Structure 1
Amino acid sequence: MKKTATILLTAGIFLGTAATIYADDGTGSDSQQTINAETTADIQVNGTLGADNTNPEATIPEEDSNWINVTVPTKTIFYNTASDKNISAPTYTILNNSGRPVTVTANGFTPEGTNPTLPEDFTLKLDVTGTAQNVATNASTNLISEGTIVSSLNAPLITLANNRNQLQSSDPEATAINNAATFTYSGSATALSQINVNYTLNLKFDAVSWN
């Protein structure tokens, strides 16, 4: 839901009349009242038990991590052969199940333990594909360049629509298409014998506030 602000000002026209100011953003999360020359205040309490983050109407604060509900693979692979230096990999899916859009960022790429000496020409890229209506922010991100891991990786990949195909609250609900993206690996390396390498790709997810 869009945040809207309504301010109601009630002011006494006689000296000594209490003035109370209310500000309501439509969700109750930022509502305030000023109590002046009064001794009590009533505060509305709205609770939700078992809030469902797949429901866009859930009363979870905007941008809260509890909106995150994303399906990603547990393991991925890439490979090449001694006769073909070009790297190949299957295609994997990132799926946003949340009631809010989610931004996906490649946040780190680190070795698991100690890998063997890498070919000096080893290049590895993370390639992301969205949809025709929702293209990737970065279609290709370097993970390894000339045998060296790219340090301080912080590459926004794509913002996925929610599970009703909405990127904004004003978008009409539709069959979810733009809530998914695919990724794979590309690159090249010269390897005349088999070398096994292991890494961890860290993805960061940020819930997007309705606007």
Structure 2
Amino acid sequence: MKKIFGLVALSSVVLVALPAYAEQNIIGEDSGEIKINGTLGIDNTDEGATIVEEDDAWINVTLPLETIFYSASPNAGAPITSPDYTITNNSGRPVDIFFKGIAKDDPDPSAQAEYEVALNGFAKGNPKIIEDGLVTSENNGVLIHTLANKNGKLGKNDQDLQPTANTVAFRYVGEVMDAVDSTITENYTMTLEFKAVSWVEETETP
């Protein structure tokens, strides 16, 4: 069965904060020694993992492979709905979710019906992804949600605060603009982008 929706996480090149490290001065000597601590298969669910802040190595997200939307009436004005789907952050760092874009899978990109579909359930943005039966690029790249880390923390010092959700539930909502004479199936691929949120330790102001 052909996929109806595929959600794909893209890695991005980002500026990263380098971890603090001890230094030594070599004065009057012709050599110096540097310790090397290597970790293979590092656990990015561990808040204390020695991964550079904002590195894509922090990304550990569970999301649906396929999703659906539908209308149950052939009449104009029929509502479009869907089941609820979830995205979960399993990482030791918070993660920003961006709506990167949507593409029609069929070779013919023209609209078979006039309808509108938008995302619903995200805290920072719920962009319209289909308008007049055609994919929209107006909101591509928009930040739609920030998930707390696996322990419900948005920052290093949040242990005494009420936990924030590391899971978000979303769905599709919309409307069929014109009556349809028969069942119409159209397939798309939606792309989401994930960025690890920097968790630099806060310094106290004297």
TM-aligned CA deviation for residue 32 of structure 1:
4.8
TM-score by length of 2: 0.77
Partner of 1:69: 60
Q: Which amino acid aligns with 2:136?
A: V
Q: Which amino acid aligns with 1:194?
A: T
Partner of 1:203: 192
Q: Which amino acid aligns with 1:196?
A: T
For residue 89 of structure 1, the aligned residue among 60, 82, 86 is 82
Q: Percent identity?
A: 38
TM-aligned CA deviation for residue 205 of structure 1:
0.6
Greater Cα offset, 110-119 or 183-192: 110-119
Q: Which has the higher strand share?
A: 1
TM-aligned CA deviation for residue 158 of structure 1:
0.6
State the distance in 2 between where 1:26 and 1:204 align: 24
Unaligned runs of 5+ in 1: 1-24, 130-135
State the distance in 2 between where 1:85 and 1:115 align: 25
Greater Cα offset, 38-47 or 71-80: 38-47
Q: Which amino acid aligns with 1:150?
A: T
TM-aligned CA deviation for residue 121 of structure 1:
3.6
Q: Work out the number of aligned pairs and report it.
A: 178
Q: Which has the higher contact order (CA 8 A, sep 6+)?
A: 2
State the distance in 2 between where 1:119 and 1:85 align: 16
Partner of 1:170: 157
C-alpha RMSD of the superposition: 2.4
Greater Cα offset, 43-52 or 178-187: 43-52
Q: Do the aligned partners of residues 78 and 127 (structure 1) sit closer, same or farther apart at CA in structure 2, a change above 3 Å counting? A: same
| 2:105 aligned with 1:118 | no
TM-score by length of 1: 0.75
Runs ≥4 in structure 1, deviation > 2 angstroms?
A: 25-28, 31-38, 113-121, 173-177
Q: Is the 8 A contact 1:121 1:147 kept in 2?
A: yes
Q: Is the 8 A contact 2:19 2:52 kept in 1?
A: no
Partner of 1:51: 42
Greater Cα offset, 110-119 or 77-86: 110-119
Residue 121 of structure 2 aligns to a residue whose secondary structure is strand
Q: Which amino acid aligns with 1:165?
A: G
Q: Is the 8 A contact 2:102 2:191 kept in 1?
A: yes
Unaligned runs of 5+ in 2: 1-17, 201-206
Q: Is the 8 A contact 2:111 2:132 kept in 1?
A: no
Q: Do the aligned partners of residues 116 and 63 (structure 1) sit closer, same or farther apart at CA in structure 2, a change above 3 Å counting? A: closer
Where do residues 19-168 of structure 1 align in structure 2 (5 Å cutoff)? 27-28=20-21, 32-33=23-24, 35-80=26-71, 81-83=73-75, 85-114=78-107, 117-118=110-111, 121-129=114-122, 136-138=123-125, 140-151=126-137, 153-168=140-155
Partner of 1:19: none
